[in-house]
């Protein structure tokens, strides 16, 4: 049975890395001693080792040891045998590119479907949907495919932003971009605001956190989902 936390972000304003999520993660990873971290998204171009050190410090506060996936000789075996897995944020294009390049997607999906606890933040959440096509990231590399884990029946738009009243910004809003996507694609999209996450157990998907999420479906008006509701599509 799937057991996942799919979070919009790793860090909210005024808090440390994963700090806002740690009480939840302490319960979620209750029986976990060691976690495998996938650092491929490389936010800001950080090295795999540097990124893993950031994650190690955060999880040390809840007594969980972290080892970066890049530190293993056999990446597929590491994923399949992991007690738990965390995929961090950064650039979704590079993350997906490396997952395909290293032939990890299928084993990652198998591990999740077999019940390995999975945490994703930002790019690590974008890959939980049917495709990565609703990421906000620049296409700095060209992955072999946009198809991702298909662990939930919709796509994620992490860091979802609402239009700012009175703003003179002339660029497109997130809602505009998602409407453009739905001209050509049927897959629903969930705009996940900062500080919000999805709690997945089996086929049940529950919205958590302080904020509502905005659900977009083709040819329908967007719907605001309250925290605590089941996301049913």
Check residue 14 and give its pLDDT: 79
Query: CB neighbours (10 Å) of residue 218?
Result: 14
Active site includes 182?
no
| From 137, 196, 199, 211, active-site residue | 137
Residue 170 has pLDDT above 60, yes or no: no
Active site includes 159?
yes
93's CB contacts (< 8 A; 6+ apart) are: 132, 135, 137, 138, 139, 140, 141, 142, 143
Q: Is 53 exposed, middle or buried (0-12, 13-18, 19+ CB in 10 A)?
A: middle
Looking at the domain assignment, is residue 233 inside a domain? Answer: no
Looking at the domain assignment, is residue 68 inside a domain? Answer: yes
The domain spanning residue 192 has which CATH number? 3.40.50.880
* Mean pLDDT for all residues in the chain: 95
Looking at the domain assignment, is residue 209 inside a domain? Answer: yes
pLDDT in tens, 91-137: 999 999 999 999 999 999 999 999 999 999 999 999 999 999 999 99
DSSP-assigned letter for residue 162: P
Check residue 213 and give its pLDDT: 97
Query: What is the domain count for the chain?
Result: 1
The region of weakest confidence among 77-91, 128-142, 154-168, 176-190 is 154-168
Active site includes 122?
yes
| From 8, 10, 122, 125, active-site residue | 122
Check residue 168 and give its pLDDT: 61
Check residue 169 and give its pLDDT: 62
Looking at the domain assignment, is residue 230 inside a domain? Answer: no
Q: Which pLDDT band, with edges at 50, 70 and 90, does 232 fall under?
A: confident
Looking at the domain assignment, is residue 73 inside a domain? Answer: yes
Domain that holds residue 31: 3-225
Share of the chain above pLDDT 90, in %: 91
């Amino acid at each position: 049975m799937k057991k996942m936390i799919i979070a919009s972000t790793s860090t909210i304003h005024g808090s440390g890395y994963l700090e806002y999520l740690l009480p939840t993660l302490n319960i979620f990873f209750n029986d976990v001693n060691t976690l495998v971290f996938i650092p491929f998204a490389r936010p800001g171009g950080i090295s795999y080792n540097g990124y893993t050190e950031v994650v190690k410090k955060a999880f040390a506060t809840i007594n969980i040891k972290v080892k970066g996936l890049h530190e293993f000789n056999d990446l597929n075996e590491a994923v399949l045998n992991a007690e738990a897995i965390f995929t961090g944020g950064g650039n979704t294009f590079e993350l997906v590119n490396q997952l395909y390049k290293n032939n990890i997607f299928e084993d990652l999906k198998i591990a999740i479907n077999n019940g390995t606890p999975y945490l994703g933040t930002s790019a690590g959440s974008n890959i939980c949907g049917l495709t990565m096509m609703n990421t906000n990231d620049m296409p700095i590399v060209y992955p072999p495919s946009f198809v991702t884990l298909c662990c939930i029946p919709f796509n994620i738009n992490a860091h979802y932003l609402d239009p700012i009243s009175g703003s003179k910004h002339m660029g497109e809003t997130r809602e505009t971009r998602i409407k453009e996507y739905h001209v050509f694609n049927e897959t629903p999209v969930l705009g996940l605001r900062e500080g919000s996450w999805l709690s997945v157990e089996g086929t049940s998907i529950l919205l958590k956190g302080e904020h509502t999420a905005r659900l977009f479906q083709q040819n329908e008006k967007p719907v605001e989902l309250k925290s605590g509701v089941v996301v049913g599509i």
